[in-house]
Amino acid sequence: MSRKIIYPLLIVLIVSGLYYFENLYDFDKTTQTEEVYQKTDTKDSNFDDSFLPHSTTGELVHHQFYSLSYSKKHKQAEWVAYTLHPGHLSDNSFDRPYFEIDKKVNGGSADWRNYRGSGYDRGHLCPAGDRRFSYEAYAETFLTSNASPQDPKFNAGVWNRLEIQIRQWVPKTDELYIITGGILKEGLKTIGKDKVSIPEYFFKVVVAYDDTTPKAIGFLIPNKPSGESLSRFVTPISQIESLTGLLFFKNNNRETEAQLKGPVDYDFWKLR
């Protein structure tokens, strides 16, 4: 075989071998990362059922990284519940996916096109920023069952400030339990063909729990821009129950329930 044929052939073989090796290395690295993730983040889908409110709609959906109760009448979740612990805090940057219909909801959740041209954001209930520890977790927040119509300046403003504050609480506790949603009621304005209700208020209930000192704090915030301190929106959990028709902490013993619904420990939460 002449050198004119042998040399090009060798070059092709060497380049092909390097390409194969590089891809094999990347595959092994990816696999190893996924194995570490699976071993270290075992709590992600295990929201303690004792902290789940009841579902007034009977449409309870458990995803891998959060749970929700869906309201077909209002075309959104009446609440979304999820955990947040130190292993979840990450600066990973992922491409933002499109919102998708939640096929786990019976008949499917509202179409994302309802929001188009409405003037309202598809506001996350379980924040994408709380699920940056893996792309799978991040992408799961982009289901329309996890979205609610929010004023853009509310979403990027006071609501975002509260989400950031909650992340700042994480290092001081093993795990936070968060329940959030809009106040859904009769007579709300709607958007889109599916008539997605626009909540006038949104709530969050945050629980820091250990065996001896369970603590909780509730927030109720109007769906409009605000520059006020988060402390202005602290609200008794019993009042949030009255407005939503939900019952919080009923699966806990009476002593724990009373403690969680008792006076807010401002020294512990240190609101900004």
Counting Cα atoms < 13 Å in the Cβ hemisphere of 270 gives 6
- Give residues with Cβ within 8 angstroms of 75, minimum separation 6: 109, 110, 114, 194, 195, 196, 197
Active-site residue, 124 included: yes
Q: What value does the CA radius of gyration of the chain take, rounded to a whole number of Å? A: 23
Kind plus residue range of the DSSP H or E element containing 181: strand 176-182
Rounded distance between C-alpha atoms, residue 237 and residue 218, angstroms: 5
DSSP conformation class of 146: G
Other CB atoms within a 10 A radius of the CB of residue 224 amount to 13
DSSP states of 57-83 as a string? Answer: SS-EEE-SS-EEEEETTTTEEEEEEEE
User: Which residues are known catalytic residues?
Assistant: 124
